[in-house]
Structure 1
Amino acid sequence: MKTLYGIQYLRAFAALAVVFFHAAERSGGHFRIGAAGVDVFFVISGFIMWTMSERRPVTPLRFVLDRLQRIAPSYWIVTAIMIGGAVVGLFPNLKLTTSHIFGSLLFIPLRSPNDSNEIWPVLVQGWTLNFEMFFYVIFAACLFLPQRLRLGSLIGVFVAFVIAGVIIHPQSPLLVTYTRPIILEFVAGAVLGQLWLKGNIPGFGLGLALMVAAIGGFAAIEILSLEFNEITCGPLAIALVLGMVSVERSGRLPQIAPLTYLGNGSYSIYLWHTLAISVVVKLAASTPIPSDVVAFLGAIAGTVLGIFAYELVEKPLRNLLRNFSWRRARPSPA
């Protein structure tokens, strides 16, 4: 599948939004709307998974293995760094339990020993990966079905989970996670992917209007301190992704190399940025530097660390695992 530059741009902006959200939060500032980058990521994930599977058919097992190979190694490395840092005292406020460590590594939602009200892994931002893995498992199961039934089945399963959550009000971390309405953002992305493949998307004018409306909606939530959750941010994220792919389909979207690169490195930026932000905030704690400046410096440091991790960790790991998989997949000589 050819590169969709608009999707890469959105991945870049979503990652940077989350970076600035955490940088502001940890320096005593405020950029709440940056967390909506997660909603954009989820819609994009559904879009990419659907279009990839439709254009390049794959078995359910191969799909799951490919997703694990793409997601897990970098996440495990950062989680190991967090655990090691806590053990030697670098993160004195981080409490560890055996069950929480294993749950984090296996993408099982558990309540954090640091805050029992939150369902967080050791690496806090890894909570989104619990949703991603859930989506991958259900998506892989739908690949067993005839092609014509997959999208409807995917929608039905996710809607059923959300309805079940509304009815039973679950308390277990597993069911609380998997019945949140935010999971519908993956399905919405898959629907957008199907519309894109069929060519049933708006033209340039309406696509641009959708993007402007979405960005305006996000800005209004931040400026007016409106209610912030997947119910308000989900539709805006869907409109933003639909608008972007519509503009790109029109052929009027410029190719911006730096944004494409940041989009490629967005996963590493997302995973690693909080480590650098924590260092910057700690170094600035005893200085008179204003919190806004600390947040900006932390965001820059977090982004730079993510880029280094992309080049030095993610890409080499991906190439290594790809070569390993290729060798194992080759038929034995007669």
Structure 2
Amino acid sequence: MKGPSGTDAHVHPVAAAAGTPPLWTVQMFRGLAALMVVIGHSQTAMAGVVERSGGEFARSTLLPWGAGVDLFFVISGFIMVHASARLFGKPGARAEFLRRRLVRIAPLYWLVTTAFLLLLAAATLKGGDRFPQPLAILASYAFVPFDTRGDGGLFPVYDLGWTLNYEMFFYALLALVVAWPRHRALAAVAVMLAALVLIGAWIPAGSALWFWTRPIIVDFGLGIGVGALMAGGTILPRAARIALAVTGAVLLIADPLHVFGGPTGHTVANAWPRVLLAGVPVAAMLAAAVLGREPAMPRPLLPLGRVGDASYSLYLLHPFALIAVEKAAQKSASVAAAPGWLLVAVTVALAILLALAGYRWIERPLTAALGHHVAHPRPARTIAAAE
């Protein structure tokens, strides 16, 4: 779900270097992944609104909405191969890679977490939600899984950050070997992911190590595999790409084991069924998209590409749209009595608008400014003078 080679990752379509054709299909996959998560969460939230007003709401099962996370993880593994093309085998690659990832991921997440903590503080003062303990807050900012709510669930203060706890762990693994030649580095990451999952089978639930060894980390490895094939020049015949895309889409939509068909608000286990029925199908669809000539961006799909640009903002900011609509329903009987799907549509539209604004006015300038500052720090004398 995150960026290409530069620190300002979502400003341009995915490309590893100058002259490389932009990967519009990957950008559209990003947009699709974010929208799947937003639509899934919106349905859950609006179902609560409708039921509190005495109505009924039937969730759509058109897509396994939670599989948007798996799509994000597979894309992340792919992009790390594609975007690190100039780093593999280079001196200093480890520090450069970590700098890029931290600048790209951490600032917006920390900003959103801080905003959410302020809302929690206000709610706590009014006798609402309990404010998290300091250790839970510290763990959230540090991307370390922690039982924030005391119910055994390893979620950060800002729930959505659980995916970033996996992302940052994956980046740490890749950073260990990014200075090696590409084929050795990718093979080493694949071995580490496999070994961690095997070790995880023997680790009791409830710890950070258990969290980081769930089979869902294989999703990153699937993306790495697609990236390695592309980097190696693999080109699939058109018929094979179509077959991969159709097979992946059918398996994903069918969800034969009903991995994503649990009760409203049910958290999907990050276990092997999820990998096999979400990670593998979306990896097949990604391979179909990139292992051949990149098509021109169709004009009707340009808006989805724009959503792909803002996918990180959309992922992190959409809960604020949910909160806004839920608060409006609490204060207005007409809003609370509105049809469930109208509420979902309004929530998704509001989330997209919020994300586009957040991307333009917060994420993009913040990432660019920090990336430039870290890459080109001022001399100590200049900094002292400024202070």
Cα distance in structure 2, aligned partners of 1:270 and 1:94: 25
- Structure 2: gaps of 5 or more residues: 1-15, 48-56, 261-273, 382-387
Shift of 1:242: 0.9
Q: Does 1:158 align with 2:193?
A: yes
Q: Does 1:44 align with 2:75?
A: yes
Letter in 1 for 2:347: G
Shift of 1:261: 1.7
Aligned match for 2:325, one of 270, 276, 280: 280
Shift of 1:44: 0.6
Letter in 1 for 2:167: E
Letter in 2 for 1:11: R
Shift of 1:292: 1.9
2:84 maps to what in 1?
Answer: 53
Residue 328 of structure 1 aligns to a residue whose secondary structure is coil
Count, aligned residues: 326
Residue 145 of structure 1 aligns to a residue whose secondary structure is coil
Cα distance in structure 2, aligned partners of 1:101 and 1:93: 15
Residue 54 of structure 1 aligns to a residue whose secondary structure is coil
Residues 276 and 302, structure 1, Cα contact 8 Å, conserved in 2: yes
What do the CA deviations read for 1:70-96 (whole angstroms, capped 9, x no partner)? 000000111001100011128933641
Q: TM-score when scaled to structure 2?
A: 0.79
Aligned match for 2:157, one of 122, 127, 131: 122
2:258 maps to what in 1?
Answer: 226
Cα distance in structure 2, aligned partners of 1:117 and 1:243: 39
* Rg larger in structure: 2
1:12 maps to what in 2?
Answer: 31
Q: TM-score when scaled to structure 1?
A: 0.90
2:10 maps to what in 1?
Answer: none
Cα distance in structure 2, aligned partners of 1:148 and 1:12: 30
Letter in 2 for 1:320: A
Shift of 1:329: 7.8
Shift of 1:212: 2.4
Cα distance in structure 1, aligned partners of 2:289 and 2:183: 27
Rate the CA distance shift 1:293–1:43 in 2: closer, same or farther, 3 A.
Answer: same
Residue 34 of structure 1 aligns to a residue whose secondary structure is coil
What do the CA deviations read for 1:302-323 (whole angstroms, capped 9, x no partner)? 1211111101110110121122
Residue 320 of structure 2 aligns to a residue whose secondary structure is helix
Residue 84 of structure 2 aligns to a residue whose secondary structure is helix
Q: Does 1:67 align with 2:86?
A: no
Rate the CA distance shift 1:207–1:329 in 2: closer, same or farther, 3 A.
Answer: farther
What do the CA deviations read for 1:43-101 (whole angstroms, capped 9, x no partner)? 11011111221245461011011100000000011100110001112893364111111
Cα distance in structure 1, aligned partners of 2:203 and 2:371: 42
Q: Does 1:318 align with 2:360?
A: no
Let me know the Cα RMSD of the aligned residues. Answer: 2.3
Aligned match for 1:307, one of 351, 356, 363: 356
Q: Does 1:184 align with 2:229?
A: no
- Structure 1: gaps of 5 or more residues: none
Q: Which structure features the higher share of helix residues?
A: 1
